[in-house]
Amino acid sequence: MTTAIIAIGGNALLKSGEQGTITQQFANSRETCDQLIQLVEMGYKVIITHGNGPQVGFALRRHENAREFIPPYPLGVCVAETVGSIGYMLQQTMQNTVKKKGLGVDTVTIITQVVVDKNDSSFKTPSKPIGQFFSKEDIDIKVSNENWNVVEDSGRGWRRVVPSPRPIRIVEKDTIGHLLEKGKIVIACGGGGLPTIEHDDGTLDGVEAVIDKDYASSKLAQQLGLDEFIILTSVDKVSINFGKPDEIRLDTMTVAQAKKYFDEGQFPPGSMGPKIEAAIEFLENGGKKVIIASNDALVEAIRGDAGTIIIP
């Protein structure tokens, strides 16, 4: 039986142009689970991971706007808050989907902690934008009062930036693996997991950072020895010369080709870059196949009729 980890973006649950109401997110969850359940029907054992970028932005804004009445949560707790709510949506929706299909498979969500290196370079140079946009006047107050690191974002305003360290170890890896072996559908590493540092005595502390969900998914897949890593995103295929007249959409790619294109700057850090790096790391550490495809073409991609396949 093939084992796979499927990484879906936070925008799969909150689509462009939507307000992001819970009703809309549940409707999008149903569409997503209708796709994912087909892999289970095909005999796959699956772990589902997901992003939470839009959702954690909403959570931060709620806390920011309510700070006059309620003490705001730190970033790490906001990440946990959204991971729990998204996990609830996906878990309930998948349970209902399984029920309708008569498959008799349980779904479980694991709030996942991820160990990072306290000396990771990203802590010295935070670069991941989060939360709402501010005017220059308002962001200067935040910098003064909250000691934020900030950046101007594409002329749209100023935003807070935080570290985005690379994952070292998935704390709940053994529990997730045990559930997978028992045939459960597991939802894990939500939002890239909750970043923690490990002390000499083995205890953990959360840190103000976010982890890229594709790097975390790759790390979990490596630690569990999974066969396939599937990344669902907003584009149909990986491309080189993206957006140019000579754009080439790739059906297949080897690790060597992926490295070559990456070194040439074909995959920018803010979009396809982390996905390609995560794919390379997975394949170089025992993985068999990576598929990158659009959110609505999962089954076609599994059959080789859509998406981009990356192989060792």
Catalytic residues, by residue number, are 10-11, 128, 213, 275
Is 203 in contact with 120 (CB distance < 8 Å)? Answer: no
Q: Which residues touch 243 (CB under 8 Å, ≥6 apart)?
A: none
One-letter-per-residue 3-state SS of the chain: CCEEEEEECHHHCCCCCCCCCHHHHHHHHHHHHHHHHHHHHCCCEEEEEECCHHHHHHHHHHHHHCCCCCCCCCHHHHHHHHHHHHHHHHHHHHHHHHHHHCCCCCEEECCCEEEECCCCHHHCCCCEEEEEEECHHHHHHHHHHHCCEEEECCCCCEEEEECCCCEEEECCHHHHHHHHHCCCEEECCHHHCEEEEECCCCCEEECCCCCCHHHHHHHHHHHHCCCEEEEEECCCCEEECCCCCCCEEECEEEHHHHHHHHHCCCCCCCCCHHHHHHHHHHHHCCCCEEEEEECCCHHHHHCCCCCEEEEC
